[in-house]
Amino acid sequence: MFDTDRRPRRLPRALRNTCLAAACVLGLGLPATAAAGEISPDLTDALATTAPSDEIAVIATFDDNVDADDYEGRRAALIRAMRRAARTAQNDVLEESGAEIEDQFWLVNAAALSASPDEVRELADEPGVATIDIDRPVTVNEIASGAWGAPLASPGAGNWGIAAIRADEVWSAHGLTGEGIRVGNIDTGVTADNPAVAGKVVAWRDFINGGSIPYDDHGHGTHTLGTVLGGATTGAPIGVAPRATAVVAKAMDSRGAGSASSLLAAAQWMTDPDGNPATADHPHVVNNSWSATDPDDPWFRGMVQSWISLGMVPVFAGGNFGPGAQSIGSPAGYPESIAVGALEPSGGAADFSSRGPVVWDDLDGQGPAAGTILNKPDVSAPGASILSAYDSGYAYQNGTSMAAPHIAGVAALIKQLNPEADPAALHQILRDTATDLGSPGADSIYGAGRVDAMAVVERFSAGQAPRANVVFVTTPQEHHRGRTATYGVSLANATEFIWRVDEGDWSAPSADSRFTVELAPGVHTVEILAIAPEGVAEDLGPARHTITVDRGRPKAVISWTARAGTVRLSANVIDDVSGVAPRSIAWSLGNGRAARGAEVIHRYVSQRPRRIRVRITDRAGNTRVVRRWVRPRAGSVRAIRGKRAVRQGAPRLKVSFATVRAGRVKVTLRPVRTIRGAFATNRNADGVSQSGIPPVLRVVSRPVSQKVVRTERGRRTARLRLRRPAPGVYRVTARLIGRQGRGERAVSRTIRIRR
């Protein structure tokens, strides 16, 4: 979850069941406990205070659901059946409702809507509608122990949690590193060019801003993902399954805030990222570093159950509401979820880590029986002083958010050993093989104890012949511009391997640790497979690496507009193969200044032509340089002249100015008031200027005289009537007005009026 080591203030009862540590969400687990068409109490209150013409964001759930047991082992068929059931239950009802449909879901049979109070009541009367509730905003608890200082450039000794759970022993003894396994992460996104996770994001969806390029404007998501699969590019490894790849859903914004419907949309997308159930592009494990405060809130249980039915392992942070008893939240508190507690480097439970047990109320009627004591957390993992990816470097963070990714990484190792491993069986074996901590046996502080990755792997492989395995240890970058690509491999329980490209012919067996392939431009899949010697089980592979070869330079059209000395430069870049990030568009502005981005706005002090140069580099490293001359445009009114001082009794003030085109010029005279002292803000210091003189603020007041002069190109004169203004400092300005003067800057001159 989003981390805090302090228990939050208790909420009103109406909200206590809905406030996530990462988000305030509504009930979406199915089947619902309420009678058909029941409007939640919170929504009832909202309807009473909402104007008839206003709309409310709601989520409606429907009765018709699929029995997953009828589709056991047939994942694609189950997804198709869930989609059919949702479509049948929802479409006719929603079309007749008149409400605006924001999104429709099939992972649970629900829809997000914007509806007026009357539309909500009419929808509740429709047959098949189970419940209607508010699509509550996602909120984040205060982060009391977030990233420690500025990001570090290197991970140094790495994540201490890897050795603590014996993941490094699994790497060396069994050759399991998560190769070929996808891990999902629903969080604040990912900084995809962080060295620890670069090239590992194979699927991305932004449910907050709709961005097509992965990013993390909060930092939490990058840190949790790094603990799952962060590599060792710039130092020691930080991830438990460093060869796994990531399916990332951004469901929370820069404040760690979003909506309940965005969380559900992210959970659904995880099950089938490309929309084709026949392709195996879903994550094998999903890490969820968020948690609700009420363990008996069943609203996300349908989502968790659907994941398990589809073979996906659900891992949840237990919560940061310790050390009080019964502080585990949901979905971690569900019987099906793997709830994770946090450990200190000393081996003890972190003070902030939520405790069990969970007294199950069975609000959804699905069991176990009400009053059943569920021992939660299930297991514990390192969760304090965890070093992982953050921004462009590395940082330490605390929380069960940091513990849960360790378990997700262990699950990825098991899925590499046996991709068909049952999530429920893995859940039980994690508990059975954990190292007992605290009082003998499972308890409400540590659960079954500290997870032991080696023991889990050995239990899964017990009674089985050792399995041949080969994994990539070095790969080219995801976007590549060379004619050849070299890979490094590591073998376990085998001495030879074979490789192929794009499902072509397999190569001859090789015992080398490296091989090189020739690649034409385009997207390619490189596969490797270990050859099992006698007495060794066959490789479950092949292991795959996708590489995009792009040897073409990006194309670009540079355009510019100028107004009153300000030039707006735009680069329209076309690169359909590897793409161009905005930060890789570098401008040289012709006056010693530089800038980055697809669009740059720059102000020049003179009107002389400038030669602009822009350098564009795509993700494969191909570069295009474009040069262009631009001419900043000066203002139409220039060179205002006149006396520096006049007498108070003078009847008129004579000023002249030059114009470069015809138009109407407004000339104004405004007094300038000077404020000295502590209330005058000075940008150079806080309260006192650098010279020790109290700060000064000059305020230009309303005009005391003005005149509009029609002018042709050339020098013109304006005479302002003075009418005995007060002595002091004044400012004379001249500016072209009207349609032609839009965007024009005023030219000014300071004068003094004396007695």
309 is catalytic: no
Give the whole-angstrom CA distance, residue 751 versus residue 755: 13
What pLDDT is stored for residue 139 in this prediction? 43
Give the whole-angstrom CA distance, residue 422 versus residue 401: 24
Q: Which helix (H) or strand (E) holds 304?
A: helix 301-309
Pairing of strands 56-62, 129-134: antiparallel
Strand order in the sheet with 594-596: 594-596, 585-588, 610-617, 623-630
CA quadruple 346, 351, 352, 355: dihedral positive or negative?
Answer: positive
Pairing of strands 714-721, 358-360: unpaired
Q: How far separated are the first and last CA of the chain, in Å rounded?
A: 71
Pairing of strands 479-480, 543-549: parallel
In the beta sheet, which residues pair with residue 630?
Answer: 610
Q: Which helix (H) or strand (E) holds 455?
A: helix 453-461
| Span 555-630 CATH architecture | Sandwich (2.60)
SS3 label, residue 493: coil
Catalytic entry in 97, 116, 145, 220:
220
What pLDDT is stored for residue 685 in this prediction? 31
Q: Mean pLDDT of successive 10-residue segments in the chain (755 residues)? A: 36 30 35 56 86 87 80 83 88 79 88 88 86 69 52 88 95 90 94 92 92 91 95 83 94 80 90 85 92 76 90 93 89 94 94 92 87 94 94 91 96 91 92 92 94 93 75 86 92 91 94 94 92 84 86 90 80 85 88 88 79 91 91 75 88 87 88 58 33 49 88 84 88 83 74 88
Pairing of strands 338-343, 313-317: parallel
Q: Are 566 and 603 in contact (CB under 8 A)?
A: yes
Within a 13 Å sphere around the CA of 364, how many CA atoms are in the beta-carbon half? 22
Query: Can the peptide bond before residue 533 be classed as cis, meaning omega within 30 degrees of 0?
Result: no
In the beta sheet, which residues pair with residue 344?
Answer: none
Nearest to 264 by CA among 460, 543, 29, 502: 29
Beta strands in 660-727 (DSSP E): 663-676, 696-700, 705-711, 714-721
Which amino acid is present at 379?
Answer: V
Give the whole-angstrom CA distance, residue 28 versus residue 26: 6
pTM above 0.75, yes or no: no
When the candidates are 3.40.605.10, 3.40.1390.10, 2.60.40.2550, 3.30.450.30, the CATH number that belongs to 637-754 is: 2.60.40.2550
| Distances, alpha carbon 54 to alpha carbons 61, 78, 114, 117, 303, in Å | 22, 39, 9, 8, 31
SS3 label, residue 62: strand
CA quadruple 678, 683, 688, 694: dihedral positive or negative?
Answer: negative
| Distances, alpha carbon 545 to alpha carbons 175, 198, 274, 710, in Å | 17, 14, 18, 71
Q: Are 339 and 328 in contact (CB under 8 A)?
A: yes
Catalytic entry in 5, 133, 135, 187:
187
What 8-state DSSP symbol labels residue 695? Answer: P
CATH number at 26-134: 3.30.70.80
Q: Are 691 and 634 in contact (CB under 8 A)?
A: no
401 is catalytic: yes
| Span 160-461 CATH architecture | 3-Layer(aba) Sandwich (3.40)
Catalytic entry in 261, 330, 337, 401:
401
70 is catalytic: no
12: CB partners within 8 A, 6+ apart: none
